Every structure is written in structure tokens, then in C-alpha cells.
Structure 1
Amino acid sequence: RDLCADFECEPAEFNGAANHVHLLVNLPPKVALSRLVNSLKRVSSRRMRTEFPEPARHYYRANTLWSDFSFAGSVGGTPISVLRQYIEQHNRPV
């Protein structure tokens, strides 16, 4: 939440599975989505390695916890309730 505030955006929904996450964010057009995603990956990786060193060590490879790949998309015209429902139907990440 703090990082999103730094980018002047607001997290609306979060969920995922053991190997990926879904994050719905209200993002102003002046913010580059790729910068937000890279910052979220960097900060969350650092925090997870600090707070959960043993599980993180299991997944930590090549000096990175997250995959180099990500998918980010924008939507327009889709009701927010439909997007939230899609995200809520996934299991929480382990």
C-alpha cells in the first residue's frame, strides 16, 4: 500500500495462486505501469527475503525471487465488479 501511495495509485484487489498473483490497481495515466510492477516486485522480494528467509531461499534463484516475466493490462469499460470477481475467485498465494 505504501509503494502504491508513492506512485499515487490505489490497490483495489489482490489474490493469486502459488505461482502467480493478480493485483488490480487504480493507476493514474501519468504513471508508467512497468515502473510500478518493477518496484512492486523489487520491494516485495526484499521484504519476503527478510520476513520469511527459509521459504524465500527455496524460491530464490539467480539473485531474484520473482520471474523476469510479468503481464500487465489495462481495461476500459469493464465494470470493476467483474474484475474483482475474477481476482477473488483465485486462491491466495502461499
Structure 2
Amino acid sequence: MNGEADHIHILFDAPPQINLANTINSYKTVTSRYIRKEFAEHLTGYYWKPYFWSRSYMILTSGGATIEVVKKYIEEQGTSNRSDLPPLNQ
């Protein structure tokens, strides 16, 4: 898991029987409650609505990329070390 100021990337393995929409919703619910509880004082000035995460999300499969390439991309998210990685939009 890693991210930038406006998004995060999470790499996980799930069997085909898992409903990914429900999994993402559960993750967002649990992490929102935890973050709001743990950092309530700090967040008060930033979040005044009853939700923390946006409703949107994106799920991608790794396709032709190896798991090592995907892991490296996520680990180096937000750093300047990504020069040796191809852009994801190619």
C-alpha cells in the first residue's frame, strides 16, 4: 500500500468468489472509523461531513505486468525513483 496526496494504491490478492465492491466498501468503512477516531482532533478542521472517503474507487487487474513490477510501482508511489518504470498508460 502506498499513495500520493489525492489517492492510494493497495495491492491485494482475492479469490474470484470475493465481491470486490463489497470488499472496497468494507475497507473504506473500517478505515474511515479508525482514522476519524485516532485523529479526531487533527481532522476536525478538515472534515465536517459524515464521510471520510469519496464514493469512487478503481479496481485494476495486473494484466501483463508481473507482480514484481506492480509492487515496485506501488512502493515507489510519490517518489522520484520511478524513472525506470514504464508509464501505466502505455
Q: Distance in 2 between matches of 1:75 and 1:21?
A: 16
Q: Which has the higher strand share?
A: 1
Instruction: Name the SS of the counterpart of 1:16 in structure 2.
Output: strand
Q: Distance in 2 between matches of 1:19 and 1:61?
A: 18
Matched residue, 1:6: none
Q: Which amino acid aligns with 1:41?
A: K
Choose from 4, 8, 12 the match for 1:25. 12
Further displaced range: 44-53 or 66-75:
66-75
Q: In angstroms, what is the RMSD of aligned CA positions?
A: 1.8
5+ residue gaps, structure 2: 80-90
Cα drift, residue 82 of structure 1: 0.6
Matched residue, 2:65: 78
Structure 1 residue ranges, 4+ long, deviating more than 2 angstroms after superposition: 54-62, 75-78
Q: Distance in 1 between matches of 2:57 and 2:48?
A: 17
Cα drift, residue 78 of structure 1: 2.2
Matched residue, 2:41: 54
Percent of aligned positions that are identical: 38
Is residue 62–residue 70 contact of structure 2 (8 Å, CA) maintained in 1?
no
5+ residue gaps, structure 1: 1-13
- How many correspondences in the alignment? 79
Cα-to-partner distance string for 1:50-91 (whole Å, 9 max, x where unaligned): 101123334424311001111111223421001001101113
TM-score using structure 1 length: 0.74
TM-score using structure 2 length: 0.77
